[in-house]
Amino acid sequence: METVTAAGLTRRFGKLTAVKPLTLGLPAGKVIGLVGPNGSGKSTLIRMLLGLMKPSAGQATVLDEPISSPGRYLGRVGALVENPAFVPGLSARANLTSLARLRGLPNARVDAVLDTVGLTGRDREPVKRYSLGMKQRLGIAAALLPDPALLILDEPTNGLDPSGIVEIRSLLAQLGTAGRTVLVSSHLLSEIEAICEHLVVIRFGELLYSGPITGLLNAAGQHVDLRAEHDADTDRLVQALQAHGWQVTGSAADGVRVSAGAQDAAPINRAAHTAGITLRELSVVQDSLEDVFLAMTGGTEQQLMAARATAAGRGAR
Amino acid sequence: MVTDIANAVRSELVRTRRKGLMLGWLGLTALAAVLINVVMFQVVESGGAAPSGGPGVSFPTAAELARPDGLVAGLGAAAGMFGVVTLSFWALVTATDYQTGLIRLLVSAQPRRWLLLTGKILALVLWTAAVTTVAVVTDLLVAPAVAGGSGIDVSAWRDNVPSTLAEGWLNLFCALVVWGVFGLALAVVTRSAAIAISVGVGYVLVVESVIRAAAETIGDRLPGSTLSALAQGGNTALSYASALALGAAYTLVSIGIAEVVLHRRDITD
């Protein structure tokens, strides 16, 4: 059974296509990670699913209802979209009470969600006095108000310090245990790989992967990290390896990364030796999910920004 | 349906119950009621013509002040001033939803956007009723006190005070609701309190004054003049019935624009 389905779902903003025709199905009762670099269309996709934005083309369903009729399913959906938004001068309790009344829910739900996110006792303080972590927890509390079958959290750890991230991560793990579907978006895979069973990867609005997280791990390969005795030899080392046909995926003063397996370690060492370079470090490393993700989405944030700028330049012409 | 509307109103009442915001609105309204009465009884000369007012203010004659409804003349005289204050607070409350991003949560919680708009309008109408009451009570306390030293015979004010106050309250309330709806519509369209208030105040202080100076007949039917006439219970330029009908038309058009914009526009805030 699928909680969310999409068929050719598209969203354009003028000449920019934020979400390219997207076809996917998200399984029910699982914690699903929606991952992609900044500006990849995650929030746009979420806004379409929540009826905040209309798609330019295509169709989608949420809890078996079409997204063209959000009134039919939003009563069973809770969401935190981007930053938690509240009336700063009102208390957490008043903010939640206002939302509970709008949904026609009893005040008991306010107590219940405050308890779930651990804000009982601080609930009468104005939200403007809350730390970012407390605001995020309040945002999750607001999303939990309708006791949703589908919980959508867009970048719930955005701007948090490491302890806040750990706190929210354990809260999310707890929320995903009750048979509820939780869709969590993030631009950092490391943030959600520990809690998600299913992963959706998008880049520049395009679906790159949708499936179990183990499927992505199986696709992970190996690489060899090596370092010349003298940093000045790094460039020569890269040339020597490339001359032997190896693909150098990373090069910096502190070392070289080669896309290769354990069986290549000895030949790589010999190639370096033949070029007159002594290695002080050579190790075979299993690719992490992060490596697979970066390879899939095209590299670091800076590389992506450059790629996007180039793509935008081409589109403008 | 009725339950959903009631839920939307109750939700909005919780969000608007902000001490600073509401004390500001009530305080500014009370201040305007004090100021207009003090100034009005100083500038209106016994037996003379009505002194020239200014943007948002139109003074009555001494003869009009001496009538039983002169007790609430200050409310009608400063209707534009009260109106601008009301427009600003309606705009502020509405634009806050966009500026804080709260609109995302609200539309996710209640996807029928017209219900959100209806809830907000009805809640703000209730607050406007409270604000109108403050204006009338302030007027009732201040007007007799300052009228004593003006040399204008106000003995007729003692006739039928409850009915005069009720009429004054209703007229001002109707005018303020229309002003408020303008503020709400501007805030929905611009999604910014500062821009909505600037446009509203700029219109009253500049645009309408210029149009009135250029073409008085048309000017009498413009929003500011119409709502002043409504608050005064009709005047020489516009009858009460015409002011009421025009005020209703302005309200419907403004709500219509707000509803269409809110319904059609993506929530990107």
CA distance A293 to chain B (A): 28
Q: Which residues of B touch A70 (CB under 8 A)?
A: 111
Cβ atoms of residues B154 and B74 within 8 Å = no
Please list the residues that pair with A248 across neighbouring strands: A258
Check pLDDT > 90 for residue B169: yes
Interface probe for A, chosen from B3, B11, B14 (most Cβ of A below 10 Å), is B14
pLDDT at A290: 73
Residue A250 corresponds to which tokens in the numbers above? 């990373």
What does the pLDDT read at residue B47?
59
Classify the C-alpha dihedral A226-A229-A235-A239 as positive or negative. Answer: negative
The candidate with the shortest Cα–Cα distance to A248, out of A257, A261, A239, is: A257
Residue B156 vs residues A26, A219, B65, B66, B164: alpha-carbon distances, Å:
77, 93, 10, 7, 11
ipTM: 0.86
Out of A51, A71, A85, the one facing B105 most closely (by C-beta) is A85
Identify all chain A residues contacting B12, using CB atoms and an 8 Å cutoff: 98
| Partner residues linked to A26 by β-bridges | A4
For residues B144-166, give the mean pLDDT.
84
> Phi/psi of residue B104, each to 5°?
-60, -45
B11 touches chain A (CB under 8 A): yes
Query: Under a CB-based contact definition with an 8 Å cutoff, are residues B14 and B64 in contact?
Result: no
Neighboring chain B residues of A96 at a CB cutoff of 8 Å: none
Whose CA is closest to A32, among A174, A187, A150?
A150
Q: Hey, is the C-beta of A126 within 8 angstroms of any chain B C-beta?
A: no
Q: How confident is the model over B135-161, as a mean pLDDT?
A: 85
pLDDT at B144: 87
The Cβ-side half-sphere exposure at B163, using a 13 Å CA radius, reads 5
The whole-angstrom separation of Cα B99 and Cα B93 is 10
Question: Could you tell me the CA-to-CA distances from B90 to A187, B53, B158, B207, B227 in Å, in that order?
Answer: 38, 26, 35, 21, 16
Confidence of residue A317 (pLDDT cuts 50, 70, 90): very low
Structure tokens at A2: 């699928």
What pTM value is reported for the model?
A: 0.83
Mean pLDDT of chain A: 86
Query: pLDDT-derived band of residue A314, with 50, 70 and 90 as boundaries?
Result: very low
Please check whether residue A280 touches B, CB under 8 A.
no
**How many Cβ atoms from other residues are within 10 Å of residue A131's Cβ?**
11
Cα–Cα separations (whole angstroms), residue B67 to A159, A277, B74, B77, B229: 65, 107, 13, 15, 17
Average pLDDT, integer, range B218-241: 86
Tens digit of pLDDT for each residue in A116-137? Answer: 888 888 899 999 999 888 898 8
Interface residue B96 vs chain A (CB under 8 A):
yes
| Position A310 pLDDT exceeds 60 | no
Contact B247, B227 (CB under 8 A): yes
How far is it, in rounded angstroms, from Cα A173 to Cα A269?
Answer: 44
Which range, of A51-60, A227-236, B93-102, B208-217, averages the lowest pLDDT? B208-217
| CB under 8 A, 24+ apart: contacts of A193-198 | A193/A33, A193/A289, A193/A290, A194/A169, A195/A31, A195/A33, A195/A169, A196/A30, A196/A31, A196/A32, A196/A33, A197/A30, A197/A31, A197/A32, A198/A26, A198/A27, A198/A30, A198/A31, A198/A32, A198/A33
pLDDT score for A316:
41
Phi and psi at residue A199, in whole multiples of 5°?
A: -130, 140
User: pLDDT above 90 covers what percent of chain A?
Assistant: 47
Count of H-run helices and E-run strands, chain B: 13, 0
Cβ burial B54-78 (10 Å sphere, 16+ → b, else e): ebbbbbbbbebbbbbbbbbbbbbbb
Give the number of A-B residue pairs with CB atoms closer than 8 Å: 92
User: Given CB atoms, is B101 within the 8 Å cutoff of chain A?
Assistant: yes
Q: Span B118-147, mean pLDDT?
A: 94
Span B158-176, mean pLDDT?
91
Q: Which of A95-126 are b and which e, b meaning 16 or more Cβ less than 10 Å from the residue's Cβ?
A: bbbbbbbbbbbeeebbebbbebbebeebbeeb
Q: What is the pLDDT of residue A315?
A: 42
Q: Residues B51-74: pLDDT tens digits? A: 666 666 777 888 888 888 888 888
Task: Place B256 in a pLDDT band, splitting at 50, 70 and 90.
Answer: very high
Report yes or no: A49 at the B interface, CB cutoff 8 Å.
no
Please tell me whether residue A51 adopts helix, strand or coil conformation.
coil
CA angle B245, B251, B255 (to 5 degrees): 150
Cα separation, A256 vs A242, in Å, equals 12
Percentage of chain B beyond pLDDT 90 is 57
Average pLDDT over residues A223-242: 90
A233-275 pLDDT tens trace: 898 999 999 999 988 877 776 789 888 888 899 999 999 999 9
**What band does B93 get if pLDDT is binned at 50, 70 and 90?**
very high
Nearest to B18 among A89, A142, A145 (CB): A89
CB A29 within 8 A of CB A180: yes
Copy the structure tokens of residue B59: 């003074």
Q: Which residue of A51, A53, A87 is in closest CB contact with B96?
A: A87
Higher pLDDT, B1 or A267: A267
Instruction: Summarize the confidence of residues A92-97 as an average pLDDT.
Output: 95
Which residues in chain B are closer than 8 Å to A140, comparing Cβ atoms? none
pLDDT at B166 over 90: yes
Q: Note the pLDDT tens digit of each residue in A275-294.
A: 999 999 999 887 777 777 77
The answer to whether the CB atoms of B111 and A103 lie below 8 A apart is: no
Q: Would you state the structure tokens that stand for residue B7, as one six-digit string? A: 């839920």
Nearest CA in chain A to B101: A85
B95 Cβ under 8 Å from any chain A Cβ: no
- Tell me what the pLDDT averaged over chain B comes to: 89
DSSP string, B75-132: HHHTHHHHHHHHHHHHHHHHHHHHHSSHHHHHHHH---HHHHHHHHHHHHHHHHHHHH
Does residue A90 sit at the B interface (CB-CB below 8 Å)?
yes
Pick the closest to residue A214 from A191, A187, A192, A196 (CA basis).
A196
Tell which wins on pLDDT, A193 or B4: B4
B99/A contact by beta carbon, under 8 A: no
Residue A209: band (very low, low, confident or very high) from pLDDT cuts 50, 70, 90? confident
CA distance, residue A106 to nearest chain B CA (Å): 11
Q: Would you call A90 and B110 a contact, using CB atoms and an 8 Å cutoff?
A: no
Roughly how many angstroms between the first and final C-alpha of chain A, as a whole number? 44
Residue A70 forms contact with B (CB below 8 Å): yes
CA distance A143 to chain B (A): 9
The answer to whether residue A159 neighbours chain B at the CB level (below 8 Å) is no
For residues B255-260, average pLDDT = 96
Q: What is the pLDDT of residue B46?
A: 60
**Nearest partner of B204 among B189, B223, B230, B232, judged by Cα:** B223
Q: Is B40 in contact with B77 (CB distance < 8 Å)? A: yes
Cα separation, B237 vs B60, whole angstroms: 13
Chain A within 8 Å of B106 (Cβ-Cβ)? yes
pLDDT tens digits for range A35-85: 888 888 899 999 999 999 999 999 999 999 999 999 999 999 999 988 888
Q: What's the gap in Å between the CA of B121 and the closest CA on chain A?
A: 15
